[in-house]
Amino acid sequence: MNQLPSLRVLPPPPPGKTGWPWTEETPPFEVPAGAPMPRISIVTPSYMQGQYLEETIRSILLQGYPNLEYVVMDGGSTDETVPLLEKYAPWLAAWRSEKDRGQTSAINKGLRIITGDIVAYINSDDWYHPGALQAVARRAMEHPEENWWVGWVDNCPEGRPPERKLSSFTNLVEFLGRTEAVQQPGVFWRRDLGRKAGFFIEDMHFLFDHEYWVRFLLAGARPVNLDAPIANFRIHGGSKTYSKQYLFMRELWTATRRHRHAVTEQQWREIVDRVRDYEAEYFVQSIYGVLAKGDRLAALGYLLQTFTLAPRIEPPSIYLGAWFRTLFTGKPPEWFGK
């Protein structure tokens, strides 16, 4: 990186773009006297997200944090991604645009070349809050014994107000039975912890991060809540979690079963109950989601998968209502999506 990125040296924002991170920046980090400043390495995996990528890039470069190593690993996009990367190349530690095996492959490529003390990855359609990196660095400098941090994440659905999500759980059993215990865009960890955990599983495409956090837990780490806004998670029609929900649930079971050895038989039964409860709720949401798009056939497919889960759907009228709406009205309830 040539120099501390700032609005003065970065390319101007596109016409009509104002506010953070287009016309606003984070003031430079004030390093406490005599304290070594950790290098923060961030990896962005990317593929055909050129319409969002520039906001991601600028939200990282304009953090006012001088000891930054930022790499972008693109899967061979044919949209505006490559021109954007070329435009911001002077401020990137590295970037590539080549065919890969998917998101986890791209992240692992980045993890193999970074050199920082603190590590994170953020997707090419998400973006950081101003001051996020400084909050992480300050905490890491004040508490060298900590090795895993999580911050507040704002879920940002298109056309709707953001909803703030907090990371929280109490133990491994509770964590394995959930998927949102840790909000990925708000996560940072020391590279030493990452070395213990290894790399992301490249055969997973939805819950590879959830499975990775389990390995952190098994390595003895516990996340420290930063109590600060760190990142924004953009929810849109192309988001993987929302466009292929049935695969999401399949990976939830894969990630859970992978670590069955780490719990007792009684704990395993509790975890299975948690996952099945979540699965029941998730399928109902999926049914209404595809009905909102006018796809009654997909809704019927979800309903057929919920026969064994029906006793877990409370109250039962929700399940019966899903059948009624799929077969007769073809529309979700008015409250859905609000």
Q: How do residues 239-252 score in pLDDT, each as one tens digit?
A: 555 446 667 778 88
Number of domains in the chain: 2
Q: Which residue has the higher pLDDT, 322 or 56?
A: 56
- Res 237: pLDDT: 62
Residues 91 and 154 reside in one and the same domain: yes
Kindly state whether residues 68 and 124 are assigned to the same domain.
yes
Residue at 252 is within a domain: no
Can you say how many angstroms the Cα of residue 208 is from the centroid of all Cα atoms in its chain?
Answer: 10
**Structural domain containing residue 294:** 264-329
Whether residue 149 is contained in a domain is answered as yes
- The CATH number that applies at residue 125 is 3.90.550.10
Instruction: Report d(CA 81, CA 46) in Å as an integer.
Output: 8
Do you find a cis peptide bond into 315, omega within 30 degrees of 0? yes
Same domain? For 47 and 190 the reply is: yes
| Per-residue exposure over 87-120, b if at least 16 CB sit within 10 Å of its own CB, e if not | ebeebbbebbbeebebbbbbbbbbbeebebbbbb
Assigned token pair, 333: 């309830």
Residue 5 falls within a domain, yes or no? no
Is residue 71 domain-shared with residue 133, that is, in the same domain?
yes
pLDDT above 70 for 337: no
If asked whether residues 238 and 270 sit together in one domain, one would say no
41-45, 50-54, 86-90, 273-277: which has the minimum mean pLDDT?
273-277
Q: Is residue 1 part of a domain?
A: no
Does a structural domain hold residue 15?
no
Residue 13 lies in a domain: no
Closest Cα to residue 146, out of 226, 76, 211?
226
- Fill in the amino acid letter for 175: F
Residue 197 sits in the same domain as residue 294: no
> What stretch of H or E contains 138?
helix 132-142
pLDDT for position 134: 97
Both 272 and 222 in one domain: the answer is no
268 and 235 in one domain? no
Per-residue tokens: 43? 């990896």
- Determine the average pLDDT of the residues in 309-337: 80
- Compute the average pLDDT of residues 298-312: 76
Out of 184, 208, 242, pick the residue that ends a domain.
242
**125 in Cβ contact with 45 (< 8 Å):** no
